[in-house]
Structure 1
């Protein structure tokens, strides 16, 4: 039988003891050895000291059925589209949960080990790994009420009868931090009578009880099974809420961090080089706490970036963006940020806490409503409802309030927001609807009654290809401009995720970041976030251009003289000519 390496066992022992006590330690270690031993054939992905990313790294976020064709599985259609349009433009694909599900567009999983037959098969998933790295979601906080596990709980069938959290309804749960306004406890009729189970997100998404080590063992097997099916990156969905302890906020608990460390240890031992990403839509300091000391997540989302960029472009001021970017500490060695502006979810409001004033946050919320978006709420400590998430496509969030019908203006404002994201230190992750400049899906919201549907539209393959071929359409313009940017970006080592960044002091309407690789040539990224033309001497653009007479703009592919002239919302990536 395959055995855990002695050093690995010693790392796991204190983690398991912290979570479950010492009485069953040897049994738990042996169970982990048995689970891990099933996958001892998995190959090392890359060196633990040299992360699996470089300047070509870029993730696409998509649903498995984002594009559908006739008489074939959506995953087959998606793979063909990726090969035709995005090969050697993006390096990886985050396929949002593609398992059988009952609600929340995939995040209420019925069976973790199956591919939803409406999307395709495991073979279809595996085929995408030929040209792209894959990210899978491990939806480990909760499971569908229609899952076999929960049906066994209702029937009091072992072992799943102990997989969930029962709480008496009169229990004081006022300290629990909620991301939703729905009831925390959901009544369920079981063979043993009426019970109330913990449901952080909805009555259909039943929280799992990780205080029971049997749940951990199930999830370890599912996790390693995903890697066996080709996953290079594992996204830990809603991880902050994982561990529950009555009398605490039940968010970011020490046990949750310890469990992330345990998962990291298992991956580093069984399949080194597999990357762990945590999803924690929280204020910045709480979010980056999931780096740990370089022993938790390899990647953490830059959750403050989407709402902060929205504020920046709508206000025409980079002041708060500059302050925030200057304050960013480099990630621990072997770790990186995942930079993004949009995803399948809405734009988080909580990550703005401590960055903008309450009045400024209110203006951001109102801007989204003005642009045709919606607002989802959560319960505050006092029981009131406050904004939690802004539901809108990022393209429509970039409307110019002074010229709301001017689509050309909207395109350049949107591209400005994306170029800023691409300029910052980290790995870019791009939602499919950002690549296509998608509009708000109000018809979908009317059909589902869910605000999030506004940003979850689907494309017919023939329709999308037709729009991409027509450069007069917004979709064609945005896709061409975006993919051109990505093609240029991947050629320069300055955009390696680990390359340091320096934020240059600039007027409110300008945002400047200098990326300086070692070795290599720096790139000075200059962005006009305002509606007025700007003229800036090269000498004021930071250390890389301080004494230079000319520079070359990688985006516009033109030479710049002693003064840089920027149109409204124009951006430049500047290098010294002899370095091109």
Structure 2
């Protein structure tokens, strides 16, 4: 298979494109075909045949791509850093909890624009299995929308509406598994050999037991083990997450082609970013923990290259919550450098923000960031404070030891602190998936409740309420100002929404306390953002001000790296960003106490007259509780 044959396979599905379109497509093939073939050859012995069939999938979907999206493709080819721009701010929401339906989401676009949002991630909305469905991640049909939210036509209309308002839609695409009720799984259960080959099915426990010796358990409380006996299959099927979520077999090229077709079909509906869910688990290898295997990155490179040919407006975001040394590969390292996903989650940043808020000490934070691998300049991190998931206390033992801490002891401290069990804790949260064998205890809770607002409001103490608000704004300033990617605001955090303890009253949610921090949007509370002096007004406009500042600062472009700076005050975090238009140094006070301004550290960075880009004023003489400053040399 060469470029000419590949292009011919595409063109055969498209009719006769005009001369300009032919030249455009040939240029895309010349640019991305080598990456496609390299990725396929690393995985499939029959790579040329797979590439030939991929060409047909691409051509068929290109023939159906709407003219408006073809125009967006052209625009993105000429502005490949569109997702790295300082004004790219994201928002994460469940469509039903935010606005009831997809049409309802469209009615609240004005609210998103008021906040400054240019990227909207709607949590799983494709048709899940009935009953338990892992929050929508057990997908029964990728080509249908949940009927309570609307239809596929409604999704396409919403994509168009958002696009016209300058907002890109991100959608979840679960790569590792499908629901037991998915058509592929139904066909496998009926005995169809083609679809049985889409899954890992074993006649007895010999191989499952061999794999289990090195496999961790994702949900040890309610889904122990990684294999499930299925009577209809008369076999053991691989089920990493739940018995009704069947892992698909990516060593079968038919699975690759199915997912490529799905991505391009959804891209033609207007989806611009795909969150590649559970991507780390997609390749299995005996004797390993079956995560982060090299084939994962080869396959993603092949998918990305194919999508770059068919729909260049589309970007990938890797949902890989793994150690930093493994995470960087999801943006591309070695031979895959810059050729995998455009975006990935910066889980370390999130964990270290919460760690420093609890300890009032930033030395571990600085150590972790200084050891964090540098990403390819053409990529970006998704930075965040909270998401729909629990917080796993991913504190490196190496980093902890470097600053005189015990990793296991610090992880226990954090889980106790954010459960509210540690003396003096301001937090209200719950343990999630406690594992007695490993001592792992993750945490559920909304950002505001974990940051102390719930307890402060109950106390009625104005000082504690003020400290909680300042703590929330500091935490947001760190991930918004980090600058190497798209900051993501989780729905309701911009209003200080608290834990929703009523989750336990819903049968479908009562066994999963992550619903504690997935409340329904309180639009009455949102109205209070217009009332000066309210908690909602202070938090909403505090976050909005941070986003406005970020949008006007060229140093926030994601191509430029951030470096944590050592300095003597353990309560302060200093981050430096280099840029042709001047150096930016961010200063954060992680304590409730006033701290001296770090003039000496700033002078060492060449900033002798510090000017705060958030307030557009000269820097103060001292740092108040939870102060946050984005400093440049004072403009002339």
TM-score of the two chains, using structure 2 as the length reference: 0.83
- CA gap of 1:375–1:63, structure 2 versus 1, over 3 A, is same
CA displacement at 1:422 relative to structure 2: 1.7
Deviates more, 1:292-301 or 1:43-52: 43-52
Match of 1:36 in 2: 58
- Kindly indicate whether residue 556 of structure 2 is the aligned counterpart of residue 495 of structure 1: yes
Contact 2:496 2:539 in 1 (8 A): yes
Quote the Cα distance in structure 2 between the aligned partners of 1:78 and 1:351: 37
Match of 1:436 in 2: 495
1:426 aligns with 2:484: yes
CA deviation map 1:91-146 (0-9, x unaligned): 11111121111312211111111222211222234322222011111111111122
1:204 to 1:388, Cα distance in 2 relative to 1, 3 A: farther
Deviation larger for 467-476 or 397-406: 397-406
Question: Which of 327, 334, 338 is residue 294 of structure 1 equivalent to?
Answer: 338
Which one of 451, 467, 475 corresponds to residue 398 of structure 1? 451
More helix as a share of residues: 2
Residues 90 and 489 in structure 2, CA contact (< 8 A), matched pair in contact too: yes
Q: Equivalent of 1:538, from 599, 603, 624?
A: 599
Q: What is the aligned partner in structure 2 of residue 61 from structure 1?
A: 92
Answer with 279-288 or 472-481: which moved more.
472-481
1:61-83 CA distances to partner (integer Å, 9 max, x unpaired)? 11112323xxxx62222222232
Aligned to 2:227: 185
Q: Do the aligned residues in 1 keep the contact of 2:500 with 2:516 (CA within 8 Å)?
A: yes
Residue 465 of structure 1, CA deviation: 3.5
Q: Across the two proteins, how many residue pairs are aligned to each other?
A: 562
2:429 corresponds to: 373
Report matched runs for 1:94-493 at 5 Å.
94-102=121-129, 103-120=133-150, 121-122=154-155, 123-131=157-165, 132-157=167-192, 159-167=194-202, 168-170=204-206, 171-172=209-210, 173-181=212-220, 182=223, 183-190=225-232, 194-292=234-332, 293-350=337-394, 352=396, 354-356=398-400, 357-370=407-420, 371-377=427-433, 384-387=437-440, 389-399=442-452, 405=459, 406-427=464-485, 428-447=487-506, 448-449=509-510, 450-461=512-523, 463-493=524-554
Q: Deviations over 1:349-376 (max 9, x none)?
A: 2354543321111100101111332223
8 A Cα contact 1:141 1:239, kept in partner:
yes
User: Whole-Å Cα distance in 2 between the matches of residues 126 and 112 of structure 1?
Assistant: 20
Q: Which residue of 1 aligns with 2:111?
A: 84
The answer to whether the 8 A contact 1:179-1:378 is kept is: no
C-alpha contact 1:308 1:352 (8 A) present in aligned 2: no
What's the offset of the Cα at 1:529? 0.6
Between stretches 216-225 and 425-434, larger displacement belongs to: 425-434
The residue number in structure 2 matching 1:560 is: 619
Unaligned runs of 5+ in 2: 1-8, 12-25, 401-406, 421-426
Whether the 8 Å CA contact 1:375–1:387 is kept in 2: the answer is: no
Deviates more, 1:340-349 or 1:125-134: 125-134
Name 1:527's counterpart in structure 2.
Answer: 588
SS of residue in 2 equivalent to 1:151: helix
| Alpha-carbon distance in structure 1 between the residues aligned to 2:454 and 2:603 | 32
The 8 Å contact of residues 504 and 542 in structure 1, kept in 2 or not, is answered as no
Distance 1:27 1:326 in 2: 45
- Residue from 35, 44, 49 that aligns with 1:20: 44
Q: Does 1:513 align with 2:555?
A: no
Q: Distance in 2 between matches of 1:159 and 1:442?
A: 46
Would the alpha carbon gap of residues 481 and 223 (structure 1) be closer, same or farther in structure 2, given more than 3 Å must change? Answer: same
Structure 2: distance between partners of 1:402 and 1:534: 25
Distance 1:308 1:460, change over 3 A: closer
1-structure distance, mates of 2:237, 2:516: 30
After TM superposition, give the deviation of residue 445 of structure 1 in Å: 3.6
- Going from structure 1 to structure 2, the CA distance change for 1:2 and 1:415 (only over 3 Å counts) comes to same
1:46–1:273 Cα contact (<8 Å) kept: yes
Counterpart-to-counterpart distance in 1, 2:142 and 2:442? 27
Displacement of 1:224 in angstroms is 1.0
Deviates more, 1:97-106 or 1:533-542: 533-542
- Residues 177 and 250, structure 1, Cα contact 8 Å, conserved in 2: no
